[in-house]
Structure 1
Amino acid sequence: MTSALPYRRNVGAVLFNAAGQVFVARRKDLPDAWQLPQGGIDAGEDPRAAVLRELKEEIGTDRAEIIAEHAGWLRYDLPPHLLGVAWQGKYRGQEQKWFALRFTGQDSDIDLEADSHPEFTEFKWVALAELPALAVGFKRPIYETLARDFAHLRP
C-alpha cells in the first residue's frame, strides 16, 4: 500500500540570476523535462546547508545566497509507474523545503558535469512564470506554488 510509504525529505532551489530569471536544467533521464535543482537532505543536515550542497553537486557551483524560504514543506506523490522504482521503492514521493536564491556567479561557474553522476544535460534561464509549463506533470502543482509564492522577489 503506497500510502504507508513515507515521503523523502528534500530541498529545492529557485535560483534567480541578476536579470530576475530562474535556472532550469534538462533532465538526462527525461529529455522533455526541465527541472529546478533539488536533492535529498542528509541525516541531521540543516535544510539551508543542504540546498547549497545540492547546488554544488547538481550544477557545479554554490555561488548563491538564500533570499527567501518557502513557509511550508511541499509534497508530491510519484506517479504509479515510478512507485517501487524511484529511490529503491522506499518512498511514495518527496516532501520538499524550497528556497529562493540569488546567483552570485557567472554562467561559466555552472558545470553540469561536476558530479560523477550528472543529472542534467543543459540549462537555461527562464521567467519564473514559465516554470509550471516546463515541469513534469506530477511536479507541476509545486512549480505553480513556487511561481506564485516567489513572484514578489526581485533579486
Structure 2
Amino acid sequence: MPPIRDQMPYRDCVGIALFNADGKVFIARRILAPGPDQSEVLAPWQMPQGGIDAGEDPLAAAYRELFEETGIRTIRLLDQVTDWIHYDLPDEVLGIALRGQYRGQRQKWFAFLFEGEESEIELSRDTEGLDPEFDAWRWEDLTALPELIVPFKRPAYEAICAAFAPIPARLNGAARAEP
C-alpha cells in the first residue's frame, strides 16, 4: 500500500542562493544516483540545499551545507526568506525519494554573496565521508532558474526568485559604482 501523503512530514532543509558580484546565482548539476528515484533526471540543475540537523540553527546549517557541497567558505549573508518554502514530491516517488520518509521539504532560504576566488569552488572534495552531490557548476541569471529546475520544485523556485529579485540589480549597481 502506498504511503499516505497527509500522514508524512516535511523534511526541514535550508537552501542557498549564492550570488557573485555580477548578480548571477550559483547552480550546480546533481550527480544522479542509480535507483528508483529518478525524479530529477530531466532537470538536474539546482542551487545548493540540504537538511537541517536536529537542534541546528538554519543559518548555521546553510553555512555547513554550502561548504559540504561546494567547498565555499568566503561568503557574506545578504538576505533570507523569513517563511518556510515548501515543495511536495510527485506521487511516483512518494515513499521512495528522501529516504521514503517525507512528503517533500520545507526550506529556509538564504542569499549570500560569494567573495572568494572561483578556485575555492571544489565539488569533488570528500567532506566527512560524503560522496559529492554535484559534478558541474555555473553562474546563471536568477530569473532563469524556475525553467531549469525539476517541475515539482518550480513553484518553490518561483517564490525564492521573487524573494531575492532585488539582489542582482543591487549587486550590479554596486559593481558599476566601483572605480
Matches within 5 A, 1:40-79: 40-79=51-90
Which residue of structure 2 aligns with residue 126 of structure 1? 140
Which residue of structure 2 aligns with residue 17 of structure 1? 20
Please give the alpha-carbon distance, in whole angstroms, between the structure 1 residues aligned to 2:51 and 2:7: 20
Deviation at 1:71, TM superposition (A): 2.0
Which residue of structure 1 aligns with residue 155 of structure 2? 141
Structure 1, unaligned runs of 5 or more: none
Report runs of 4+ in structure 1 exceeding 4 Å deviation.
Answer: none
Please give the alpha-carbon distance, in whole angstroms, between the structure 2 residues aligned to 1:50 and 1:58: 12
TM-score normalised by structure 1 residue count: 0.95
Matches within 5 A, 1:72-151: 72-115=83-126, 116-151=130-165
Give aligned pairs, total. Answer: 155
Deviation at 1:89, TM superposition (A): 1.1
Which residue of structure 2 aligns with residue 28 of structure 1? 31
Which residue of structure 1 aligns with residue 5 of structure 2? 2
Structure number having the greater helix percentage: 2
Most deviating of 27-36 and 83-92: 27-36
Please give the alpha-carbon distance, in whole angstroms, between the structure 2 residues aligned to 1:93 and 1:15: 23
Structure number having the greater strand percentage: 1
Match for 1:35: what amino acid? Q
Please give the alpha-carbon distance, in whole angstroms, between the structure 2 residues aligned to 1:107 and 1:75: 31
Aligned alpha-carbon RMSD (Å)? 1.2
Aligned residues of 2:42 and 2:150 also touching (Cα < 8 A): no
Deviation at 1:31, TM superposition (A): 6.7
Task: Summarize the Cα distance change of 1:31–1:77 in structure 2 as closer, same or farther, 3 Å threshold.
Answer: closer
Larger radius of gyration: 2
Structure 2, unaligned runs of 5 or more: 33-40, 172-179
SS in structure 1 of the partner of residue 14 of structure 2: strand
Match for 2:132: what amino acid? P
Tell me the alpha carbon deviations over residues 65-97 of structure 1, each in whole angstroms, 9 at most, x when there is no partner: 211010200000011122111232111000000
TM-score normalised by structure 2 residue count: 0.83
